[in-house]
Structure 1
Amino acid sequence: MNAPTLTLQNDDRPFRTDPQRSFTLPARFYHDPMIYEAEKPAIFYRSWHYAGHVSQVAEPGQYLTTKIHEQNVFVARGRDGVLRAFYNVCAHRGHELLEGTGKRNVITCPYHAWAFDFDGRLVSARNSENVAGFDKCDFSLKPVRVELFCGLVMINLDPDAKPFSEEFDGLEAEIRAYLPSVDTLAYAQRDTYDVAANWKVLVDNFLECYHCQNAHRDFVDLVDMGSYRTITHKRYSAQCAAAPRTTTSNAFSFTPGEVDFGYAGFFVWPNITIWIYPGEPNLSVLQMNPAGPERCVEHQDWFTPGGAVTAQLKDAIAYQKDVLQPEDIGLCESVQRGLKSRGYNQGRFIVDQGLTELSEHAVHHFQTMVAEALGAEFDE
């Protein structure tokens, strides 16, 4: 892939492998429709995607649906107890089979009533017995890879992709260190945000706390920024703070939980972020779903013990929904507008020797993965 938008242009400064010497990706990577289309097969159709939580598909017949751009997929628990995923499209004329989440005895297409079992087999097609040479085995649903990770249902459209556990080796151990009771969690709620920004702007923003002192004063009151560090790995990064500054911060109040820490956040390539707040056990997934070159729909799913939201967890969720997310969305939408300015093309990463809480090395790590996936030119 070597489209003109992915090659160096006259006014581009070098994007380098060394973050301390590198400029950021050119602005066109955040609004050019050609790059947006190139990302679909190069990034999203070959990467692991968060689909939901195992508690939503715990019983035979339970299902959930998700989309990766135009690709609609459902995950369901079979009668044999096996979790499977399929493209959410009828093998007859292409109608979508399922919507949202729920439970069925059989999967029946709303269009012509073709029926499929949860193992993907076509079990009924009206009037097909009168069609010469019709073989139900020719019309099974097309499978999609599915794996479980700390209770999260992960899918991948690429049948040859590396297993999630191999691609993100070490991530599960880190999450369990902060949240030993992760297996007791269940789905609690979803919050959705429609953001006028490219998905990569939101990821860039998540990956640094250089902006936190200016833009997230309540977060800084919660977290000990002196211990806040971001560590990059092959396909993910972790940003964690050792201990909370106080249990009664401006963000929310809490009682110390099973592990005493201030905050743990993880970025999982390409567009998944995992959050663990201090206090009672909790985990949330915030996924940046591209909806256009300059639009993104974020879903944040929350998981709590048994799916219950206590008063303490309600306060933490309210802080995320009513304070931190609006702060970040305002920043990202302003950046998106600025990326279209004729006065801007690239910035410079702020990366210090100690990789402190002010360092943007994780942003460079992410942008490098984007450039590599797209086959874009950059300086060694």
Structure 2
Amino acid sequence: MTLPILNLMPGDAPFRADPQNSYTLPARFYHDHAIWEAEKSAIFFKTWYYAGHVSQVAESGQFLTVKIHDQNVFVARSRTGELNAFYNVCPHRGHELVSGTGRKNIITCPYHAWAFDFDGTLKAARNTENVQGFRKEEFSLKPVKVEVFCGLVLVNLDAQAAPFADQMGELEKEIRHFVPSVDDLQFAQRDSYEVEANWKVLVDNFLECYHCAPAHKDFVDLVDMDSYRTITCGLYSSQCAGNPKTLNSRAYSFQPGEVDFGYAGWFVWPNFTIWAYPGEANLSVLQMNPTAPERCVEFQDWFVKDGVVTDQLRDAITYQIDVLQPEDIGLCESVQKGLKSSGYNQGRFVVDEGLTELSEHAVHHFQNLVAEALGAKLDPDYAP
């Protein structure tokens, strides 16, 4: 049953299908606990979730873990080379099996030492030979769908989910245009950020550059904003710019890479973004992981050639860590405070006919995906 707060309420202006005539989602979508709970099953347990990079699980026995709200999953390379994913829980008494990343000869539960192979089969369970009717095959690990896309490892808790690549249309083609050597990249590092804001505030912020000129002086010195365009495409959107304005911007200095461009970024439903900076081949993922209605953790994983960060790429990463991320986090945390104000409920999308760098049409695109997933009815003339 749809929660009443997901529908049009007194004081709400309509959220319309046309971004040029629409108000934003009401503020409660960014702090109400019931909506945050509804998102778990309606969004996160049905969509592809970024887990890590294939270079982290390249060899037999290597594993990585990922948490999707309260659901823990691990991904491991089997002895015969397959990549498998399972719920990270022992079927005996529910203990977590592994944590972090690493490599093992066998998956052994720390609680009672039940042992599992990397195909999920139970190999050993002490004293169960004395349990009447015990059958090992009843206690294999429960599998989770897993795929690799441009080196990214993705998992999905929905066993009926369509393949990620099928859902994403031209995304792979776009990424390979900007980073032709994407298959040669390896995991280099993860940076983490605790943010006091709803995860959707951070996605909204990524999806528009209306704020770039006043808030990101170094970024607009790096990127040719006249060529910066955002295009929405089903379950993703792209935001790319042409040639960089200069090789020696206030952000960082670099030499032209395998493809000359100023910046390329993609939002992937529901909660991660892919970045490519100019210069040497690189890719990164910035993921917004909800931890509470008004809190989230951002992970930014960096992938570079051979997993070695050169001086040039270190400058780009340092700019991201020291300048761009603090700027964006400060903006988002201030927005989160404002969303609780009695003086605010909704704004209007700023959308121009040319869909320029100042247009917020991609924010509407994302908010519409949220409304559709939740079954929200926010306009009497439009029922997603």
Under TM normalisation by the shorter chain, which class is it?
Answer: over 0.9
Within 5 Å, give how 1:109-258 maps onto structure 2.
109-258=109-258
SS of structure 2 residue aligned to 1:93: coil
Q: Which runs of 5+ in 2 are unaligned?
A: none
Moved over 3 A (4+): none
Within 5 Å, give how 1:8-47 maps onto structure 2.
8-47=8-47
Structure 2 equivalent of residue 302 of structure 1? 302
How far apart in 1 are the matches of 2:266 and 2:115?
Answer: 40
Provide the alpha-carbon RMSD of the alignment.
0.4
Within 5 Å, give how 1:299-378 maps onto structure 2.
299-378=299-378
- Matched letter for residue 317 of structure 1: I
Structure 1 equivalent of residue 280 of structure 2? 280
Q: Provide, for residues 88-123 of structure 1, a one-character-per-residue CA deviation record: whole Å limited to 9, x for no partner.
A: 000100000001000000000000000000000000
Q: Provide, for residues 214-265 of structure 1, a one-character-per-residue CA deviation record: whole Å limited to 9, x for no partner.
A: 0000000000000000000010000000110000000000000000000000
The Cα shift of 1:378 comes to 2.5
- Matched letter for residue 257 of structure 2: G
* Count of residue correspondences: 380
- Matched letter for residue 184 of structure 2: T
- Matched letter for residue 98 of structure 1: V
How far apart in 2 are the matches of 1:110 and 1:48?
Answer: 29
How far apart in 1 are the matches of 2:156 and 2:66?
Answer: 12
Residues 6, 378 of structure 2: 8 Å contact kept: no
How far apart in 1 are the matches of 2:367 and 2:76?
Answer: 34
SS of structure 2 residue aligned to 1:43: helix
SS of structure 2 residue aligned to 1:165: helix
- Matched letter for residue 206 of structure 2: F
SS of structure 1 residue aligned to 2:161: coil
- Matched letter for residue 237 of structure 1: S
- Matched letter for residue 290 of structure 1: P
SS of structure 1 residue aligned to 2:97: coil
How far apart in 2 are the matches of 1:273 and 1:321?
Answer: 16
- Matched letter for residue 114 of structure 2: W
The Cα shift of 1:7 comes to 1.3
Q: Provide, for residues 330-377 of structure 1, a one-character-per-residue CA deviation record: whole Å limited to 9, x for no partner.
A: 000000000000000000000000000000000000000000000001
How far apart in 1 are the matches of 2:33 and 2:135?
Answer: 42
Structure 2 equivalent of residue 75 of structure 1? 75
